[in-house]
Amino acid sequence: MTAAERAKQPPTKVPRDGPKLTGPKLEQRLESTWSNPPGFIGWISSVDHKDIGRRYVITALIFLALAGVLAIAMRLQLSRPDNDLIGAARYNEIFTMHGTTMMFLFAVPVMQGMQIYLTPLMLGTRSNAFPRLNAFSYWTYLAGGCLLWVAFVLNIGPDVGWFAYPPLSGPQYGVGKRADIWAQMVTFTEIAALAAAVSLTATILKQKAPGMSLARMPIFAWATLVTSLMVIFSMPSVALASGMLLSDRLVGTHFFNPAERGDALLWQHLFWFFGHPEVYIIFLPATGFVSEIVATFSRRSIVLYPVVVMSLVATGILAFGLWVHHMFATGLPRIGYSFYTAASMSVSIPTGLQIFCWIATMWEGRPRLQVPLLYVIAFIFTFVIGGLTGVIIAAVPLDLQLHDTYFIVAHFHYVLIGGAVFPLLGAITYWYPKATGRMMSDSLGKISFWMIFLGFQLAFFPMHISGILGMPRRVYTYPAGMGLELPNLLSSLGGLVVAAAVLLFVVNLVLPLRRPKHAGPNPWDAAGLEWATPSPPRPYNFPHIPVVDSRTPLWDAGETLSVVHGLRVEDRELLLTTVLSAKPDLREPSAEPSAWPLIASLALTVMFVSSIFSPWAVVFGAVPVVIALTAWFWPKSPAPEPEPVIS
């Protein structure tokens, strides 16, 4: 029976989930409706948010490993003075690739990947909004990452730093195509991030389970909503900046050329208007992980939930008022210095409030010191140190002294690794059983945790010292006799310890995959809806859509889980609810699997890569993109009759 024929049937004849169709019989039918087609075509056509999220996370972790190898190469070069392991030009490429990969290809995508995987499960829905857009997002991200790394392997990788300041990156000094590749990689990753952010925002606003009002939403979903909105408002800035840079280089515009009344500082404003919120786009999802982990392992709901949520929102707003603190050394009016110092210090207030709430939750609860919670404690310890050095460099006189030294390198690694990577590793350990059906080894997890935590402190704490002693960033070596030998050697040793620990973490990720799926649906006895699904979840997530009447639904559920029913079984159908109070409102179809998002992404890749070489590529390259997008959107099934509605 075709979709059109099914649509013509009276409502009672359409198979729907409910008391008469439940259990294995229902699950079997949902399975065939929501599964991918078989084989390779099915694999590339998948629009399942769990597939896309998993691909995002695994790809981002591969980029983390690649950028980590570059970090080790730099630490080997810096392990002793006047070292000649790596020359100056190659070193420029390596630190550029390290920073660019970590920020654009690891940190933001890995957080979005976790959000794409988890959010629909946490909200109690069968899929995310715009699943094909989500698939397109992943393929575009992958294409951007490949562009950067293929260029690096071909020895045309960028060498202008991860923020590519003109005039160094402009046509006069940035000869060849290195800076163009950097700028176009940015375009790819921004399109990918924006597409994912729109999908996540719509999912959160419209697909919450009945009863899950905004005031009952998991804190991780709040963090996802805030970061997605931040992506939407900030990423156009860097896309615009990279577009202007490309046009300065390719068609001779003068946006950043002071000789023709352009301004190199315009770049810095546009870049940091994105770049500073980006730090919080990476950090806020991590605080979402922390809130979920702290609640589960303290076995109580988060203390002062409204304060935590308001802190997330406040951080999201304040993050847009700080960007100029990256530009203190460019010279600013006095009022500018005062304003941005005050703004930079004020953002520590909501973050501080969140930290107090987590400590209070652990204090009030019964904390279980398992690996995810260990990472949370390491996060609090490390992030507070990074936050304090942040307050130090928010003060202009100190910033001018420490600008572009290793003190800054130490600061941002404390806040980014301490603030985002530690919670991420905790989150991977925490949700691993959900995604794979298996538990990671606790003892191996504890060994790698302690190695990462202590190795990190050994690697990055001495950088404060070398920075205060005046060691500049981004210089490939340093002379002997300035007191820099010991801190650098310690940093390099610490880097090796972290690398070994990460390897151990990866071993711990891979080894359990050979064991049977014994984890069960809720191994940590957690409260969120994602733990109501089997591990790993089925393609349709929930056989019946759950109903929520508290912030900790599984802890309050008792013997049964309240559900609504009446969704179609043989077509992909979603329940939409109202934005604020999550009252059931509509049943809308959800997109079928399709290879067109991949084809559209490939066409976009051809256009973008060609446009590095000729502006006409934008015109001619757009034709295949339009064809692919049209094929993507054109309805495939015969036009159905309007479904009769029971009144």
Partner 1 sequence: MSLPPSFTDDLSGLPTHAFSHRSLTWWGIIGFMVIEGAAFALTIAAYFFLMNQEQEWAPRPWEPPGLLAGTLFTLVMLLSEIPNTMIKKAAEAYDVGTVRKLLPVMVAIGALLFVIRGFEFNSLNVLWYENAYGSIIWALLFLHTTHIVTDWGDTVVLWRLMETPHSEDPRRLVDTDENALYWRFVWLSWLPIYALIYWVPRLFR
Question: Which is nearer to partner 1, 501 or 554 (by Cβ)?
Answer: 554
Strands (E) in 488-527, as ranges, are none
Query: Could you tell me the smallest distance in angstroms from the CB atom of residue 627 to partner 1?
Result: 11
Query: Could you tell me the smallest distance in angstroms from the CB atom of residue 13 to partner 1?
Result: 11
Question: Which is nearer to partner 1, 5 or 260 (by Cβ)?
Answer: 260
Using alpha carbons only, what angle is made at residue 226 by residues 225 and 227, rounded to the nearest 5 degrees? 95
Query: Could you tell me the smallest distance in angstroms from the CB atom of residue 599 to partner 1?
Result: 16
Query: Could you tell me the smallest distance in angstroms from the CB atom of residue 554 to partner 1?
Result: 8
Question: Which is nearer to partner 1, 241 or 294 (by Cβ)?
Answer: 241
Query: Could you tell me the smallest distance in angstroms from the CB atom of residue 602 to partner 1?
Result: 19
DSSP annotation of 531 reads: G
Residue 175 to residue 156: CA distance in whole angstroms: 11
Return the structure tokens found at 235. 């990423």
Query: Could you tell me the smallest distance in angstroms from the CB atom of residue 287 to partner 1?
Result: 23
- Which residue stretches of 395-473 are H helix? 396-402, 406-413, 422-436, 442-468
Residue 280 to residue 344: CA distance in whole angstroms: 13
Give the SS3 label for residue 366.
coil
Question: Which is nearer to partner 1, 258 or 397 (by Cβ)?
Answer: 258
Question: Which is nearer to partner 1, 299 or 565 (by Cβ)?
Answer: 565
Query: Could you tell me the smallest distance in angstroms from the CB atom of residue 589 to partner 1?
Result: 8
Query: Could you tell me the smallest distance in angstroms from the CB atom of residue 508 to partner 1?
Result: 25
Residue 372 to residue 426: CA distance in whole angstroms: 4
Of residues 144, 152, 315, the one with CA closest to residue 219: 315
Return the structure tokens found at 55. 């691909």
Question: Which is nearer to partner 1, 367 or 640 (by Cβ)?
Answer: 640
Of residues 514, 519, 547, 524, the one with CA closest to residue 534: 519
Is 566 in contact with 21 (CB distance < 8 Å)?
no
Query: Could you tell me the smallest distance in angstroms from the CB atom of residue 446 to partner 1?
Result: 27
What type of residue sits at position 288?
Answer: G
Phi, psi of 61, deg, nearest 5: -70, -35
Which run of H or E residues covers position 111? helix 108-123
Question: Which is nearer to partner 1, 497 or 575 (by Cβ)?
Answer: 575
Residue 647 to residue 637: CA distance in whole angstroms: 27
Q: Report the relative pairing of strands 573-577 and 584-589 from DSSP bridges.
A: antiparallel
Return the structure tokens found at 24. 């294995």
Contacts with 542 (C-beta within 8 Å, 6 or more apart), sequence order: 124, 125, 126, 532, 533, 563
Contacts with 274 (C-beta within 8 Å, 6 or more apart), sequence order: 234, 235, 237, 238, 241
Cis peptide bond prior to 167, omega within 30° of 0: yes
- Which residue stretches of 469-484 are H helix? none
Give the SS3 label for residue 184.
helix
Question: Which is nearer to partner 1, 352 or 520 (by Cβ)?
Answer: 520
Phi, psi of 142, deg, nearest 5: -60, -40
Question: Which is nearer to partner 1, 511 or 623 (by Cβ)?
Answer: 623
Give the SS3 label for residue 589.
strand
Query: Could you tell me the smallest distance in angstroms from the CB atom of residue 386 to partner 1?
Result: 29
Question: Which is nearer to partner 1, 37 or 523 (by Cβ)?
Answer: 523
Query: Could you tell me the smallest distance in angstroms from the CB atom of residue 442 to partner 1?
Result: 22
Query: Could you tell me the smallest distance in angstroms from the CB atom of residue 54 to partner 1?
Result: 21
Query: Could you tell me the smallest distance in angstroms from the CB atom of residue 202 to partner 1?
Result: 4
Q: For residue 584, what are the CA distances in angstroms to 30, 209, 258, 545?
A: 21, 8, 57, 11
Question: Which is nearer to partner 1, 472 or 521 (by Cβ)?
Answer: 521
Is 253 in contact with 339 (CB distance < 8 Å)?
no
Which run of H or E residues covers position 573? strand 573-577
